[in-house]
Chain A
Amino acid sequence: MPRNMRVGIVLTGFVVAVALVAQFWTPYPPLAIDVIHRLAPPSAQHWLGTDNFGRDVASELMAGAATSLFVAVIAVVVGAGIGIPVGVTAAVGGGWIDTVLMRAADLTFAFPALLTAVMITALRGPGAVDSMLAIGIFNIPVFARLARGAVLSLLGRDFVLAARAVGAKWHTIAIRHLLPNAAPILLVQATIQFALAVLADAGLSYLGLGSQPPQPSWGRMLADSQSYIWSDPLLPVLPGIAIVIAVLGLNLLGDGLRDKLDPKLRRGR
């Protein structure tokens, strides 16, 4: 296994493990406010100190791992779940179907994500899914293009031609033959988009458009505490480091996967 991938697996595994543990145990309840002990430095009681509400930063970071991963999963699932069928349909359908779908994808890609985020935040009624949908929507054309390109390159291959010769239907071919063969490249892209989603969440949170309180999230912790950068620099630095670890891990994992799955690039390593 490439060294990149090992590091990636360790980092990603660590983040996932922390997120899972946080479901059952955190040193303190992550939302418990304790104003008397606010802004405490790291100590035996509070490993990483407390924030401006006296919440335990370590507990918040643990709970935030779960939120950030969940948010990124939604973004990727939305993007891939809509983008891949669109891309495959465009490639297989061809002609005007292809043109319309791909131009729509271009438009979605070009439409400012900021406005999409504002729109979803403003229209989201109580109980609906978070504004991470905005990032998911931004991901749709990424997956659509990739899936279309991958499928187009497969259409002339023997196994597809053979399946067509025996009279298989297009949707059968798409599910049985095209998707499994396009899966590696899509998987790699999913890992990369996953990492980008964690970053995008931080950016949107900075603008006040990220996940909603009181749900702990790294992006919001960073956004909420960035004005403490002068007085308590650890507060904005820690979620920043958490983001860097998660994104780094996911990127390394993606690289490793690419090296393993894409023989053409392996030569370069």
Chain B
Amino acid sequence: MRATIPALAAPALAAFMLAAGLAPGAARAAAKDSISIGMTLEPPILDPTAGAAAAIGEVTYQNIFQGLTQIDAAGQVVPSLATSWTISKNGKTYTFNLVHGVVFSDGEPFDCTTVKFSLNRARAKDSINPQKALFAPITNVACPNAETAVVTLKQPTASFLFGMAMPAAVMVAPDSAANNKTDPVGTGPYKLGTWVKGDHITLVRNPKYSGKAPPIATATFRFIADPAAATAAMLAGNLDAFTLFPAPESVPQLRQDKKLDVVIGNTSGKIIISLNEAKKPFDNLLVRRAMAYAIDKQAYNQSVLNGYGTPIGSHDVPGDAGYVDLANTYPYNPAMAKKLLAEAGYPHGFSMTMLLPPPPYARRGGEVIAAMLGQVGIKVKLVDVEWAQWLSQAFTHKDYEATIIAHVEPRDLYQYANPEYYWNYHNKAYDALFARYQAATDPKQQLKLWGDLQRKLAKDEPNIFLCALPKIGVWNANLRGMWKNMLITVDIVGQMSWAK
């Protein structure tokens, strides 16, 4: 027996090491007009106006549903169902010129009544729109004629056009809106083919689409949550693309595969340590700054994101128009951190609890953050939580001290001016600054104020800003039309094609 075990184990192990060490062979030959895309989470429903999950937008945005405006690969607001628009001098009236001759996939026409219906539905009293705040400034939607929509706002809102490009603001038709969750009907180039729950969704060309038929005829979105399984699926050639690849540690292996392109870009995700300012000692600016000095963002980036992230110093990401690099506001300096802690009245540090939701940036990140804070005397107790628990405990009941979280909503600086938000950050100066930004009508002025907002947050450090969440895109080298950066989570199949 003693001889048997090693004898059996050794060849198995050798085969395993051999297999692991060698790069994989040829990927499956590319299909002409179909594509399979991996994503980590399955959308629970397919109506972006009824659920917050980013996966809903990833499958449907610009594929099935379209908005008045849209975000392009550069993060800019560009025309979609509104071909052009004018803004009144006072910044309160938006006049949208709508496309002609567009119908929904069930034949219902798109015109101003659709716009009126969609916007009013989103801001109604019983609305369940996950981003209802986007529609809060609207006071009226009028239809002077079928091809023009006039939207009136309470006050000038610099972020309005950007908001109308969000997945939650897509246009839905009165007849089909109620069933969009399971049977989505939109104006986009694709419609739902099949949905095998838990495995994949297939989109097929929408024959009623008014534009040119897109090159890809069918797109299959496959749900693979496990990072190791995602790597296996790419290496084995079972997938053509994974736009938000979940395993940064596998990138070196994927790069060895000549059949694959690996492109590292940015998402709008800001990985931060949220601090609850309503709890001591996080109400103390010195403590927050001490924590910022105690954390080596580059070390976090290396050990958690394999170095593909970008350290940030405020609540914005590179790639966003108006981003200011403030990553060096509090350079790594444990001695300085200890000094500030002593000044704040905590010469021996203190104990705190940190909630960690499931993604690796939090679970893995928590371990390295706890070790770094431990160096300056801050004892961190890590508590793993599921999303459901995080949302109810931290986000809704604000019953937490600190938590690591990536805020993925683009340009969400408004949340720091939201007194209800779970950070409990209340700063009159910031609120006033934000009001000035929203009221600004001149784009240059807007950009400058956007920078000031970021600087103010860096100075105040209401949360500890860690890194921009990288967008690791992996796809077949013959695939065209994939985005490097992504401010909102999308896979715009209409732009994709296979190289000859």
Contacts and interface: CB of A to CB of B under 8 A. Distances in A.
Interface of A: 3-4, 7, 31-33, 35, 38, 52-54, 118, 121-122, 126, 208, 212-214, 224, 226-233, 237, 248
Nearest to A38: B303
Interface string B227-245: 1100100010000000000
Interface residues of B, number: 41
A230 B367 CA distance: 22
A126 B20 contact: no
Nearest to A223: B363
Contact of B384 (A31, A32, A35, A212): A212
B496 interface: no
A34 B235 CA distance: 31
Given A126-B383, A212-B384, A233-B21, A227 B250 contact: yes
Contacts of A7: 1-2
A212 B383 contact: yes
B253 interface: yes
28 contacts: A31-B371, A32-B371, A33-B303, A35-B296, A35-B299, A52-B303, A53-B303, A53-B368, A121-B384, A208-B384, A212-B384, A213-B356, A213-B367, A213-B384, A214-B370, A224-B363, A227-B226, A227-B227, A227-B231, A227-B247, A227-B249, A229-B228, A230-B247, A231-B250, A231-B252, A233-B20, A237-B16, A248-B5
Interface string B277-309: 000000000000000000010010011100000
Contacts of B371: 31-33, 53, 214
B389 interface: yes
Interface string B1-19: 1100100000001001100
Q: Report whether over half of chain B's contact residues are helix, strand or loop; otherwise say mixed.
A: helix
B184 interface: no
Nearest to B254: A230
Given A212-B383, A227-B247, A229-B228, A35 B303 contact: yes
Contacts of A38: 302-303
Contacts of A226: 228
A233 B252 CA distance: 13
A212 B228 contact: no
B386 interface: yes
Contacts of A230: 20, 228, 231, 235, 247, 249-250, 253
B358 interface: yes
Interface in B325-360: 353, 356, 358
Give the top 3 A-B pairs by smallest Cβ distance, nearest first.
A227-B227, A233-B20, A35-B299
Contacts of B299: 33, 35
Nearest to A225: B249
Contact of B363 (A31, A33, A213, A229): A213
B302 A35 contact: yes
Nearest to A245: B5
Question: Which among A118, A121, A231 has the greatest number of chain B C-beta atoms within 10 A?
Answer: A231
A31 B367 CA distance: 9
Contact of B364 (A52, A121, A212, A229): A52
Given A53-B368, A213-B382, 14 more contacts: A33-B299, A33-B371, A35-B302, A35-B368, A38-B302, A52-B249, A122-B386, A208-B358, A214-B367, A227-B247, A230-B231, A231-B250, A231-B252, A237-B13
Interface in B380-408: 381-386, 389
Contacts of A213: 356, 363, 366-367, 382, 384
A54 B303 contact: yes
A204 to B, nearest CB: 12
Contacts of A224: 363-364
Contacts of A32: 371
B7 to A, nearest CB: 14
B1 A4 contact: yes
A53 B358 CA distance: 18
Contacts of B385: 122
A53 B231 CA distance: 21
Question: Which among B1, B16, B235 has the greatest number of chain A C-beta atoms within 10 A?
Answer: B1
B437 to A, nearest CB: 38
Contacts of B249: 52, 227-228, 230-232
Contacts of B247: 227, 230
Contacts of B252: 231
Contacts of A33: 299, 303, 367-368, 371-372
B28 to A, nearest CB: 19
Contacts of A232: 249
Contacts of A212: 382-384
Contacts of B370: 214
Interface string B300-325: 00111000000000000000000000
Contacts of A53: 303, 367-368, 371
Contacts of A228: 249
Nearest to B230: A227
Nearest to A228: B249
Contacts of B226: 227
Interface string B409-420: 000000000000
Nearest to B382: A213
A38 B366 CA distance: 17
Contacts of B382: 212-214
